[in-house]
Amino acid sequence: MVEAVQAREVVIKVRGLVNRFGRETIHDGLDLDVFKGEILGVVGGSGAGKSVLLRSIVGLNHPAAGHIEVLGRNTAKLSGAELVRLQQRWGVLFQNGALFSALTVAENVAVPLKEHRHMPPALIQEIAALKVALVGLPADAGAKYPAQLSGGMRKRAALARALALDPEIVFLDEPTAGLDPIAAAGFDQLILSLRDSLGLTVFMVTHDLDSLEAICDRIAVLIDRHITVGTLAEHLHNPHPWIQEYFTGPRARAAFA
C-alpha cells in the first residue's frame, strides 16, 4: 500500500521551505509531497502557518528559502507568462470566498474564461452555467450577487470560480469554516465527488475534524515549524503530545466515533 502511494505522480513538491515574519520563523526546512488525485488535509494550531504554506505554494508569499515545484515547474524560476500559464492549472478557494462583489456569480465564473480562453460569449455563458450547476447551486444563483447568497452558497460559488479553467489542483483555505454541520458535510461530499469526476488534486487547509475523517486521503500536520504527513491511522499512533491532543481530544473522539 505504502509502495503504491510512493510510486504515484508528485504534483506539488516542497523542499526545505523556510518562512519568516520579522524575527519569527514560521516554517523551518519544511518538506512535503502531494500526489496526483489525492485529497490532502493540512492542519495545525492557529498561527502554525497553514495559510502561509498555501500562499507560498501558489506564489502569493515569497519564502525566505526553499524550493517549490508545482506540476514539475519551479514556481520561483518562471517568467511572468509561464507563471500565468501555470496559474491556470490550479484554482484557489479563499477563506471568505473572495468573490468579486460587483459581479454576479455567473460573471465571477466567467472572468477567468474571458481572460484566458478564446471562446464565443454564448459558450462562456454555457460553461459558467455548467460550473454553477456542478457545485450544486440552483440555476437562479448564477444571476445573483455574492451579497445575496448565504455563506454556504458563497463558498460553492467561489469553488465554481476556482474550477472555471478546469484546473488540475485546487487549493482550499478552510472551505467548511463558518458553515453549519449539514452544509459542511455537503461541501465535503461535493469536494469528494468533484475529485472523482474531474480528477482533481485537492490541497485543503482545514480545522474541520469531520472533513479530515470523511474525505482526506492523507493529513499533513504543521507543528513546531515542521510538517508530519500521514494517514489518520498513522497520526493516531504518533506520540507527539499536540498530535495526540488534536486527534484524540474530546472533539476528535466525537468526530471519529
Partner 1 sequence: MAAAELKIEGEGDRLTLRAVGRWTGEGAARLDRRLHAIDAKTYRRVRFELGAVEALDTVGAWLLNRTGEELRHRGLEVELANVPTTLAPLIARVSATGAPPMPTRRHPSRILHFLARIGGGTIGALRFGYDLLGFFGLVTVRILRVLAQPWRLRLNATVRHLEETGLDALPIVGLISMLVGLVLAYQGVDQLRPFGAEIYMVNLVGVATLREMGILLTAIVVAGRSGSAFTAEIGTMKVNEEVDALSTLGLDPVEILVLPRLIGLLITLPLLAFFADIMSLVGGAIGGLLLIDLTLPQFLDQLSIAVTPIMFWVGIVKAPVFAFVISMVGCFEGLRVTGSAESVGRQTTKAVVESIFLVIVLDALFSILFSVLGI
Say whether residue 101 binds partner 1 (CB under 8 A). yes
Say whether residue 103 binds partner 1 (CB under 8 A). no
Question: What residues form DSSP beta bridges with 249?
Answer: none
97 and 155 in contact (C-beta within 8 Å)? yes
In the complex, least distance from residue 114 CB atom to partner 1, rounded to whole angstroms = 12
Which cell numbers in the block locate residue 114? 474571458
| Stretch of residues binding partner 1 (CB under 8 A), selected from 72-80, 140-148, 184-192, 205-213 | 140-148
Alpha helices, H only, 142-204: 151-162, 181-198
In the complex, least distance from residue 121 CB atom to partner 1, rounded to whole angstroms = 11
Using CB under 8 A as the binding rule, the residues of this chain from 153 to 192 that contact partner 1 are 163, 165-166
Nearer Cβ to partner 1 (95/125) = 125
The helix/strand/coil state of 83 is helix
Say whether residue 117 binds partner 1 (CB under 8 A). yes
> Which of 180, 196, 234, 245 is in the footprint of partner 1 by CB under 8 A?
196
| Stretch of residues binding partner 1 (CB under 8 A), selected from 5-13, 26-34, 120-128, 182-190 | 120-128
Say whether residue 46 binds partner 1 (CB under 8 A). no
CB hemisphere CA count around 157 (13 angstroms): 31
Q: Which of 151, 150, 145, 155 is nearest to 101 (CA)?
A: 145
Nearer Cβ to partner 1 (111/232) = 111
* Pair type for strands 201-205 and 218-223: unpaired
What are the b/e assignments for 230-246, b being 16+ CB within 10 Å? eebeebeebeeeebeeb
42 and 50 in contact (C-beta within 8 Å)? yes
Say whether residue 10 binds partner 1 (CB under 8 A). no
Say whether residue 55 binds partner 1 (CB under 8 A). no
Binding residues for partner 1 (CB under 8 A): 101-102, 106, 113, 117-120, 123, 125-127, 129-134, 139-140, 142-143, 147, 163, 165-166, 193, 196-199
